[in-house]
Structure 1
Amino acid sequence: MIQDDKLSNVISTLQRLSSAIFSDAIQRKLILDNLTEGVFTVDPALKITSFNKSAQSITGISEDEALGKTCRDLFASTLREEFCIVGHVLEKGQPLLKLTRHLKVEDRLVPVLVSASPLVDNSGDIVGGVQSFQEITEIFHRQLILDSVFDGVLTVDMDFKITLFNRAAELITGFKQEQVLGKFFADVLRQEGANIAVDKMSLAKAINTGKPHVEECFYIETADHRVLPVSVRAAPLLDATGKIIGGVESFRDNTGAIQRQYILDSVGDGVFTVDHAFKITSFNKAAEIITGYRSEEVLGKRCRDVFDGSVCEGNCPLAKAMKSQSKVDVFDIIIHGKNAKEIAVSISATALVDEFGKIIGAVETFRDLTEIHSLRRYLAAEREQTGILSNSPLMQNILALLPEFARSDSNILIVGESGTGKELIARAIHKQSNRNMMLFVAVNSGALPEKLLEAELFGYRAGAFNDEQQDKKGYFATAEKGTLFLDEVGDISPTMQAKLLQVLQSKTYEPLGAETPVSTDARIIAATSKNLEELVEDNEFREDFYRQLNIVKIQVPPMRDRMEDLPLLSEHFIRKFNRQRGKEVEGLSEEALEILMRYDYPGNVRELENIIEYSFILCSKGLIFPQHLPTKFQRKSETDQALVNPETGEPMTLEEIEKHAIIAALTRNNFRTMQTCRELGISKDTLRRKIKAYGDIIQPII
């Protein structure tokens, strides 16, 4: 390439020789023919007066063909753009330097770098012009390649002055190539408003050591004074002899990657990604905390070599996700952290797909279950004491008082909606009391007619009824020294209330047909789902009996006020039904749990148990998904309806729920049995058997 000073030397030589004798013309020709650049001269009429050997070689035009012709005529048919810039130079009287043009040679476009300048005599008059051109095919192609890459690329000489600056470098930094060429490298890629010593920069380290240098996170200041994170790769530039003649640096805008990493690091779950070979490509902060590994310790390693999990051999969730291109969930498995520490986790894996739909790896999130397992152990111990599962603050306040209530023999009234677990609390009190070696007797007071309830509570003597030949113990006698639990005490008749009041006051009762009272030492715990205070005001419940029962009152919160217990209770019911049914259901999916958390549960804990039991009809293993839940949870219009019997207002039994599901599915599918079977996930024989079992309800419909 002709440099500016070289072109000046050529011009001055030509000017010296322009008016010399013929021998000087020979000397001029020798000088021009020794140049590697193509050079030709013109007179004021633009007629070519000399055409050196390099010009002939590059253009394919001989000197004889060129001499005497105007340069515009000579090159008009061979060039895509105007090549003869010397004409403009003569018009303006000013040189033009380093313009890129394309020269057509044998049907091939050759990129050339063109410069031109006027020739003046000793008087300062323009006597002609000179134009040089150099083929830059290799340089041009190299620039095209560099401009097509996404990374910024620059080169420097040994003085750290920039000699190349590609298109991506312009886009990343905001500087144009013409602004930075020849400038000191550190003045362009300066570090975040600070002056950094040149020898500390990656490019300087690469040049000084002769070895490549990598810096993953480096902050630069752009042309518009933005701070930009970049990753840097630097290496020395060597000539053919291996001598270092400068350096090359590539840099990549890391803004997106850092933002993604910040997002991942803000997630509470561990997250890592793998490539096709299952080598770890990213590892977030939570993953580091859970496993004890730093990201640099695991990046590039196979995930199975790092975690050695219980599913790594033949049942890898990542492999399944990449194969099926669907989400894979695994609950409660063991992985190994640093120092072989066993960690219980739940896993969710998904394939990573590029913009063309090609699988490029997978991502796995994992949640540390250590605290959950600790909580389970704590709750198991607590359940051993109370029989109650809860981590709700409302329930915990109640459970904390149970030991105090258990030490007392005072009557207790437990109030709460149906299905809230009032009997469980009564049993917990009995279990923690000094009466726990004796019986706990539960009586559903509202389910028995008055006369039968009296006989069941107090017993009777032989002959009290015409056909009775022997005495029968009542519940009071059975619960002697133990606890008698009177459920739904609000449904007891006023007459029976009076008799029970007498027992509470005198600690005696009379069996039916007996002539003398019998003393009792049974502790009374009563429960109701009704508002007894309102019943007292309406004269439907004896106030004195209420006062006698209400020495200690426990208000049990409904399920809707203790939703934090739902995951725990659901897990308990799932374990229960797994044992009963011999199934392998792992838990609730996130979608199913979210749906259940939005429900009000008018039937309380008992209704939740019914929902889980229903799900076991459709789900045999894995996770319970929304499609396994009762039909009303899958239809938006029915979201707020409870699983209650419309006639009784009570929670549906499992049989009623099953009938409802089958009828609804048959109706939706126009009573086509195969479609109904597919929706319910049951066989045709099973559906036929269910229809026969519920024939009195279903047969009239179909």
Structure 2
Amino acid sequence: MPSFSPTVSMTSAILESISDGVFTVDEAWRITSFNRAAEVITGVNREEALGRPCSDVLRASLCQSRCPLRRTLRQGNPLFDIPAWFVDSEGERVPVRLATAILRDAEGKVLGAAETFRDLREPAGTNRIRESINCFGHLISRNQKMQAIFAMLPKVAASHSTVLITGESGTGKGVLARAIHGAGPRCSAPFVGINCAAFPDTLIENELFGHEKGAFTGADRRRDGRISQAGNGTLFFDEMGDVSLAVQVRLLRLLQERTYEPLGSGFTQKTEARFLAATHQDLAALVRGGRFREDLFWRLDVIRIHLPPLRERKEDIPELALRFAQRFGHVAGHADVRIHPAAMAQLVAHDWPGNVRELENRIERAVVLADSNEILPEYFIPASGLNDEKGQGLASGRDAAERRMILEALTSTGGNRTAAAKILGIHRSTLIRKIARFGDGAIK
């Protein structure tokens, strides 16, 4: 039967990147794979776990009488959200929620079963910034650069300083702004945002500062602006790089003196709001080009946080994709939406020029098109114009990932197609068809 020992394939890379523990067993209940998260949660090294009965390794509360894996194999149905506990290598109980599924080969033959489990222990010292980030799932990340950002957020959130958030479109700058507000002392006060690119000069000042009755034709009543609405909360300027030089003059006074005048008013008002700003543009380059005031730039650039694009933190794609799938699946009435491993490999292979926003949109589209609670590779065929810079969309990304997995399997077996098919978990004839589809020039 196929071995489920970890390989350098895309599938195993995905399993290694997720935070849930995952292990597989054969029909004799011996562990055939054990991912990195399973090692961390149980305290058992992979080498110690492989080949041993799962009950000896995990010592779970359900092992003896109500084993979920046995129930799954006996009934032929997966199980979800089962409460249990394990005994780790230190003898401590670890509360978990687990799920099980049957493993089958390409021909439908049962190979064994798989179990995933999530550690429910609460980390010591959990603070409000972590809670805030958790409720905005876009920002949960395993990436080193993102972890460095998370480490500084408690101090940033607790301060009153202006923050400039930079990064490509779709990286989550607005989400980060909300997380900073939600984790700080102003969390119970309003969070008010304004997209500076959405208003012409004649309207953005009215939106920001408000107006008095009779300030202009049609102003038949007094109207509060966004600054007044923010009160002592947070005012977020999105797409700050699109503000005209004329409006920049008034914004400089706002940030410098914390005062403003509503249109048509002769009275100066003071604001206690905190200022956050975001842009996908290089403000320093705009300053050099004479399109952005240098004094305003330095007022904004007190604390700068740069969000890396999704292509630089691909280890986050599996968890982000699953979170989006579950959220949209709940809305669409699909319980426990799953993503097929080949579809996940396809997602990881894509460069995502639209970043997290593009991933979110593609997952929503896939959930809508899905006929069941499993998202398949064909649901990720991109819409027109959404291919990446190299002209490779998600479909070609899937082919590239599949080609790479086949090459790795053939290389590891010295070109033995039968052995390679076993590693890949497919029938030899299926492997031969795939090799023929890619052509002799791609795979030999």
- Report if aligned partners of 2:239, 2:280 keep a CA contact under 8 Å in 1: yes
Deviation track 1:277-334 (CA, whole Å, cap 9, x = no partner) reads: xxx3866563676833389x9xxxxxx9967344755xx45775xxxxxxx9777667
Give the structure with the higher percent strand: 1
Q: Structure 1: how far apart are the matches of 2:270 and 2:182?
A: 24
- 1:336/1:437 Cα in 2 relative to 1: closer, same or farther (>3 Å)? closer
TM-score by length of 1: 0.45
Instruction: Tell me if 1:619 matches 2:363.
Output: no
Partner amino acid, structure 1, of 2:55: G
Residue 350 (structure 1) aligned to one of 96, 99, 104: 104
Structure 2 match to 1:630: 381
- The 3-state SS of whatever aligns with 2:350 is coil
Structure 2 match to 1:293: 56
Structure 1 match to 2:111: 363
**Shift of residue 457 of structure 1?**
0.2
Partner amino acid, structure 2, of 1:286: A
Structure 2 unaligned residues grouped into runs of 5+:
13-21, 33-47, 88-92, 396-444
Residue 438 (structure 1) aligned to one of 189, 198, 204: 189
Deviation track 1:502-524 (CA, whole Å, cap 9, x = no partner) reads: 11112111110011211111111
- 1:508/1:311 Cα in 2 relative to 1: closer, same or farther (>3 Å)? same
Deviation track 1:71-126 (CA, whole Å, cap 9, x = no partner) reads: xxxxxxxxxxxxxxxxxxxxxxxxxxxxxxxxxxxxxxxxxxxxxxxxxxxxxxxx
- Report if aligned partners of 1:413, 1:527 keep a CA contact under 8 Å in 2: yes
Q: Structure 2: how far apart are the matches of 1:432 and 1:336?
A: 32
Instruction: Tell me if 1:495 matches 2:246.
Output: yes
Instruction: Tell me if 1:543 matches 2:297.
Output: no
- 1:575/1:381 Cα in 2 relative to 1: closer, same or farther (>3 Å)? farther
- The 3-state SS of whatever aligns with 2:223 is coil
Instruction: Tell me if 1:565 matches 2:316.
Output: yes
Q: Structure 1: how far apart are the matches of 2:281 and 2:312?
A: 18
Residue 466 (structure 1) aligned to one of 217, 226, 234: 217
Partner amino acid, structure 1, of 2:379: H
Question: Which runs of structure 2 are paired with 1:375-394 in the superposition (5 Å)?
Answer: 384-386=131-133, 387=136, 388-394=139-145
Q: Structure 2: how far apart are the matches of 1:517 and 1:390?
A: 44
- Report if aligned partners of 1:309, 1:333 keep a CA contact under 8 Å in 2: no
Q: Structure 2: how far apart are the matches of 1:525 and 1:335?
A: 44
Deviation track 1:570-614 (CA, whole Å, cap 9, x = no partner) reads: 122122112222212432111111110011111111111101100
- Report if aligned partners of 2:352, 2:388 keep a CA contact under 8 Å in 1: no
Q: Structure 2: how far apart are the matches of 1:524 and 1:455?
A: 18
Question: Which runs of structure 2 are paired with 1:654-669 in the superposition (5 Å)?
Answer: none
**Shift of residue 496 of structure 1?**
0.3
- The 3-state SS of whatever aligns with 1:554 is strand
Partner amino acid, structure 1, of 2:66: D
Q: Structure 1: how far apart are the matches of 2:242 and 2:388?
A: 37
Higher relative contact order (CA 8 A, sep 6+): 2
Q: Structure 1: how far apart are the matches of 2:226 and 2:388?
A: 48
Structure 2 match to 1:672: none
Instruction: Return the index of the structure with the highest Cα Rg.
Output: 1
Question: Which runs of structure 2 are paired with 1:325-344 in the superposition (5 Å)?
Answer: 344=98
Q: Structure 2: how far apart are the matches of 1:459 and 1:625?
A: 50
Residue 531 (structure 1) aligned to one of 236, 257, 282: 282
Q: Structure 2: how far apart are the matches of 1:564 and 1:270?
A: 19
- 1:459/1:533 Cα in 2 relative to 1: closer, same or farther (>3 Å)? same
**Shift of residue 486 of structure 1?**
0.2
Tell me how many residue pairs correspond in the alignment.
354
- 1:390/1:460 Cα in 2 relative to 1: closer, same or farther (>3 Å)? same
- Report if aligned partners of 2:163, 2:275 keep a CA contact under 8 Å in 1: yes
- The 3-state SS of whatever aligns with 2:56 is coil
Residue 605 (structure 1) aligned to one of 339, 356, 368: 356
When the two chains are superposed, the root-mean-square deviation of aligned CA atoms in Å is 4.0
Question: Which runs of structure 2 are paired with 1:267-306 in the superposition (5 Å)?
Answer: 270-274=23-27, 280=28, 286=49, 291-293=54-56
- 1:426/1:443 Cα in 2 relative to 1: closer, same or farther (>3 Å)? same
Q: Structure 2: how far apart are the matches of 1:455 and 1:532?
A: 24
- The 3-state SS of whatever aligns with 2:185 is coil
Q: Structure 2: how far apart are the matches of 1:376 and 1:619?
A: 36
**Shift of residue 632 of structure 1?**
6.4
